[in-house]
Amino acid sequence: MSFEPTSVVAPPAPKRLNEMNLSPVMMRDILIKTLFRKNVDMVSEIAEAICLPIPVTQELVDLAREQRLIEATGTLHANSGNEMGYQLTDQGKARALDALSQSEYYGAMPVPLAVYQEQVKRQSIRNIMINRDQLTGAMGHLILPPDLLDQLGPAVSSGRSILMYGPPGNGKSSISNGIRDALGDKIYVPRAIEYAGQVITVYDPIVHSAAEVQKDDPNSLRRTANRYDTRYVRCERPTVITGGELSLSMLDLVYNPTSRTYQAPLQLKSTGGVFIVDDLGRQEEPPQALINRWIVPLEEGKDILALQSGEKFEVPFDTLVIFSTNFHPNEIFDKAALRRIFFKIKIDGPNQEDFLKIFAMMARRRKMPLDEAALVHLLKKKYPEIDNVYANYQPIFLIDQMIAICEFEGIPYQMSPELIDRAWANMFVKEEAIVH
C-alpha cells in the first residue's frame, strides 16, 4: 500500500476585522506605516501590501478614516473598477512617524502566535506518512544497503529526532538531504507572527522556498486572495542546515535594535520541516550543551523563547531534528542525552560490492571508461594497505583525480594501474617526520 503526501489544510483567510485577534491600534499603525512607506492608495493595493482580504482591509481603512488619519483623495481609478483612492492626512503622517519610531515593521499583518499554533498542528511534520518507495525515490542518487532504509523509514515517518553517526565520507549529509526531498508536500509559513504586541518575522527566502508566487495582476489577485490567508507563504517544507558554525545564541530570538523587531531563530524557521545539525562535535559549544538545549523541545514539542524584556513564552517545536556526527555517540553524550534522541542510526562505509557499484555509477556520470586491470589493481594492491576499509566518497575522489591527470597530460579519459597509484597518493597523507 502506498501513501501519497496528504494535502495540508490551508489557513482560512479572516472575514472580519474582529476575527484578527490583534490589537486594533497595532493593525491601524501597521496600515498607516505601510501607506507612509509604500506607494499604495487603492484598497486593492493596500490589501495586497498588508496581506489581508479586501473587505477586511476596507474595514481597517474606515477605522483609520474615522480617526482622521486617512482621507479619500476623491479620485476614482477607472482602470481598477472605479476604486477610490486614499492618502494619509497630516495627522496620519505624524502618527505614522511616531509609530515607525517605535517599530519599523510595516507590510504583512502578523499572525497571532495562538492562531499560528493551530496551523502548525494542521501541517505537523508528525502527520507525514512516508513509505519505502518514496524514501527510495528520494535516495535514488545514493547506493545504500537495504537494511539502512529499514531503519530510516520509521525514523522519518515518526517525525522524531535522529542521530546518524559513523566514519566520515559515507554520505550522512547526502542522506539528510534525501530525507528532506522525500517529504514532498507543501506547508504554510507565516511572514510574521505576533506575541505581546511584538512582531517576529518568520518567513525567510533563504530558508523557505515559495511554492508559488502571487501575480501583480489585480484580477488574478482577486481570484486567488481568498483561497487561503495570504499572511502566510505556501512553501516546500523548510530545511535548515547548520554545521560547525552553530552556536547556542543562534537558537534565540534575534532582536534588531534599529527596526525594533525580532527575527525567528533557526529552529522556529524550520517548523514543519527538517533541522539538520551536521558535523556535531565541531562546534565551539560541546555537543552535550547543544543537546541539553534541545531536550525540552524534543520531548514536549514546544520551545521557550525570551523577549528583550526578559519575558519568556512558548512557541511550537515541530521539527524533524537530524544530528550527524563522525564521533561515536558514547564519546560526546551522556546516557541521559542519548536516551532522549529517539533513533540512532550507524552509517557505515560500503562493502566491496557496493563500492564497485558506486565506482561504476560515478565513472559513468563522469564519462570515464572502466578498466578491469585498474580495478583489480585498486582492490588487490591498494585497499589491503588500509585494511580494505571502503568509504562512499572514495570513488568520486579517485575518478576526479584521474580526470585531472588526463586533462593535464592532454590524453583521453582513461584509468590504468599507474593512474590509480597517482590518484591514491592524493587520497591519504603519509605519516612521516617533517625535518625543520
pLDDT at 373: 96
User: Which residues, 6 or more positions from 80, have their beta carbon under 8 angstroms from its beta carbon?
Assistant: 42, 44, 218
Joined together, the cell numbers standing for residue 210 give: 515559495
CA angle 66-68-69, nearest 5°? 110
pLDDT at 167: 83
Query: In angstroms, rounded to a whole number, what is the distance separating the alpha carbons of residues 52 and 20?
Result: 10
pLDDT at 5: 47
Alpha carbon 199 to its chain centroid, in Å, reads 21
Which H or E run contains 73? strand 70-77
pLDDT at 409: 94
pLDDT at 6: 54
Query: What is the model's pTM?
Result: 0.82
pLDDT at 267: 94
pLDDT at 81: 62
Alpha-carbon separation of residue 59 from 21, 24, 25, 113, 220 (angstroms): 15, 11, 13, 23, 22
pLDDT at 130: 82
Backbone angles phi, psi at 64, to 5 degrees: -70, -30
Residues of the chain with pLDDT under 70: 1-6, 75-81, 211-226, 429-436
Pick from 283, 270, 387: which is nearest to 325 by CA?
Answer: 283
Is-contact 107 49, C-beta < 8 A? yes
